[in-house]
Chains A and B, each alone.
Chain A
Amino acid sequence: MSVPPRPADARRPHAFRASGRYSALRLLREALGGHQGWRRAWRKADPRKEYQVVIVGGGGHGLATAYYLANHFGITDVAVLEKGPIGLGNVGRNTTIIRSTYYRPENIRFYDHSLRLWEGLEQELNFNAMVSQRGVVYTYHTDGQRDHMTRRANDMRLAGADCVELDRAALKALIPGISLDSGRFPVLGAFMQPRGGTVRHDAVAWGYARGASEAGVDIIEHCEVTGLRQANGRVTGVETSRGFIGAGTVCLAVAGHSSHLAGMAGIRLPIETHALQAFVSESIKPFLDVVLMFGAGHFYISQSDKGGMVFGGAIDAHNTYAQRGTQWIAQEVAAEGVALLPALARLRILRQWAGVMDMTMDGTPIISKLPLDGLVMNGGWCYGGFKAIPAGGHTAAHLIAHGEAHPLTAHMDVGRFAAGLTVDEPGTGPFPWAH
């Protein structure tokens, strides 16, 4: 498979690091000094009066956008405003899967761009985010499903991504614990994207924060944006819990809170906020070596490097901003899990939580100018924006720096809804709760 070159605008990141370079040697040196020599991974900045670019939201996309602006587009007069501590939103509570298994070719190209960025990210950031290309496996249970996944696999291959089909024997060899025939929906086979996998979620936020901070970006925590100020049809800055901050461009990267922020400018987005739950089990010795998705339900699962099984299921149907799990979804998820991997019946689930996501009406994200000059957004990520963090940050930075969409995100413009050019991945129509 030919892997296209990295983006042309990529350049070597700053060599100077306030926190120092991370390496095995440094670790050894610090160990000898009782680890007293470590410095803050990112500066704790206080807000200045004004920035060229203010990014609202210190999640994956906000931090990545800032990182790429500063390191790839030369715009360093940037602040990231985060209402709490960075990285505790969805980037810090998702099930960490990366892949480019999408049905729409334009989405495949975008997410595969992201995969390629993941592939060199740790070296670029000098931060081990444990990008683990262990493979993502989807079971199928009917011929119709197989045909549908075949089309996806073919589209992926045409776009330069990777995808293979596994017969039952190969699937069983890869995942000995899988139940092929004993369940309600026998498994006929599977598809796998070998380059898909997982990434250590927290490390993504911290790594980008460190990289952005060292290039001069101010990362301002505990700074909640409470209003958008505008003059003459143009955004001029943001009201925050720490005072007004002027800005030439404001980029919203607040995930589940997108409607709330856009609402401050009187803009109604085609977005509903829903919760997706996640679960982690107790740590066990290696049990599952790939990411596994259940084709006859919503269950999906992988094992973290720490040994916990990380898994989830369907979204909560109703609009919610509560980051908590519900009781009955847990039952559904567990039942599907046991149906697929019966040994799980004896495994104990440690924790259950939820994240609030910006579900767009067509399931495709929005990287777009909004109808107020100087206001752009990087959001609408639904339940799949973690994998998109490098590409989302990179293309949003492109939009901010060049004033026009990156070619890979042309289809993510917010105007698509009025024009009838929606990119409805699931095909369920404008009903986010059914996605």
Chain B
Amino acid sequence: MLRITCPHCGVRDEVEFRYRGDASVQRPTADADATAFVAYVYERDNPRGWHHEWWYHAAGCRQYLQLWRHTVTHTIHAVGTATDTLTPPHGMVDR
């Protein structure tokens, strides 16, 4: 069970949150074509390593959070609010 430190509520059990997937993909602007939207909706890096992702604190403050989490060790490098700019783990760049 992961323990996630919500920037608002403090450290909480994973069960209070809902996972919401890859945070490195960003919704294309309204004038973008289908290819861009296909990439946004379907295509993923799915890294074995550091992953930038969304979590929703459903049974807490109901805020979306961003995490940098390692998909093998589950170490959480950073947590931020939806609008924070997080520093990725060393050597990582977000697309």
A residues whose Cβ falls under 8 Å from a Cβ of B: 257, 259-260, 263, 268-273, 317-322, 326-328, 361, 417-418, 430-431, 433
Contacts and interface: CB of A to CB of B under 8 A. Distances in A.
Contacts, number: 72
A371 B79 CA distance: 36
Interface string B29-43: 000001100110111
Given A259-B45, A268-B44, A326 B1 contact: yes
Contacts of B11: none
Given A268-B39, A326-B1, A328-B13, A431 B21 contact: yes
How would you classify the secondary structure of chain B's contact residues: helix, strand, loop or mixed? Answer: mixed
A328 B4 CA distance: 14
Interface string B16-28: 0011111000000
B44 A259 contact: yes
B46 interface: yes
Interface of B: 1-2, 13-15, 18-22, 34-35, 38-39, 41-48, 51, 53, 69, 71-74
Contacts of B41: 361, 430
Nearest to B44: A272
Nearest to B43: A268
B43 A270 contact: yes
Given A257-B48, A418-B34, A327 B1 contact: yes
Contacts of B71: 273, 318-322
Interface centre among A270, A272, A319, A418 (most CB of B within 10 A): A319
A417 B48 contact: no
Given A319-B46, A319-B53, A319-B71, 15 more contacts: A260-B48, A269-B43, A269-B46, A270-B42, A270-B44, A273-B46, A317-B18, A319-B22, A320-B71, A320-B72, A327-B1, A328-B14, A417-B38, A430-B42, A433-B21
22 contacts: A259-B44, A259-B45, A260-B46, A263-B46, A268-B43, A268-B44, A268-B45, A269-B44, A269-B46, A270-B43, A271-B44, A271-B46, A272-B21, A272-B22, A272-B44, A318-B2, A318-B19, A318-B69, A321-B48, A322-B71, A418-B35, A430-B42
A225 B2 CA distance: 31
A274 to B, nearest CB: 9
Contacts of A260: 46-48
A238 to B, nearest CB: 17
Nearest to A270: B42
Contacts of A417: 38, 42
B11 to A, nearest CB: 15
Nearest to A416: B42
A259 B47 CA distance: 8
A431 B21 CA distance: 8
A127 B13 CA distance: 46
